[in-house]
Amino acid sequence: MPVDAEPERLDRQLDTLERLFDRDGVEVTVLHVYEEIDTPADEAGKTILESINENIESLQGVPETVEHAGTRLEDDGVAVSLRTTTGEPKQAILDAADDVDADAILIGNSRRTPVGKAVFGSVTQGLILEGERPVLVAN
């Protein structure tokens, strides 16, 4: 279950999980992806960008939503593991799902305007179109 720093999105994900799955036998991997800084840099700047990307977790910190998700799931009797990684979000989520052999990916969708609801965000759309696992979208 990929988690970002948006508490409302996390609540929708957790509510969806609670409604759709029995707690017994469910294992949830809560994943937060730090998006690498990917900008062209001159020779001097390249080393700085590499250093930032290597230390991005300690620089940004883990969002409170990650710990909140773990606590709420544990309190509900769900087996949970917390995981962070760095990279392009869609690919990092797909790679993590492969690593844990996930049965499905539960992602929270951004709240959008009525017109925008016809189209998913780029990460959600990429997971649906390029992934090999079922993707549940919590709205």
> Is the pTM above the cut of 0.85?
no
| Dihedral pair phi/psi, residue 87, rounded to 5° | 155, -165
Q: pLDDT tens for residues 1-19?
A: 999 999 999 999 999 999 9
Q: What is the pLDDT of residue 59?
A: 66
Residue type at position 87: G
Q: What is the pLDDT of residue 62?
A: 82
Cβ neighbourhood burial of 68 (10 Å; 0-12, 13-18, 19+): middle
Which domains are seen in the chain, by residue range? 7-36+62-138 (3.40.50.620)
Q: pLDDT tens for residues 16-45?
A: 999 988 878 899 999 999 887 666 656 556
How far, in Å, CA of 27 to CA of 129, rounded? Answer: 24
Residues 117-136 have a mean pLDDT of 85
How far, in Å, CA of 47 to CA of 31, rounded? Answer: 27
Q: In Å, how far from its chain's centre is CA 96?
A: 10
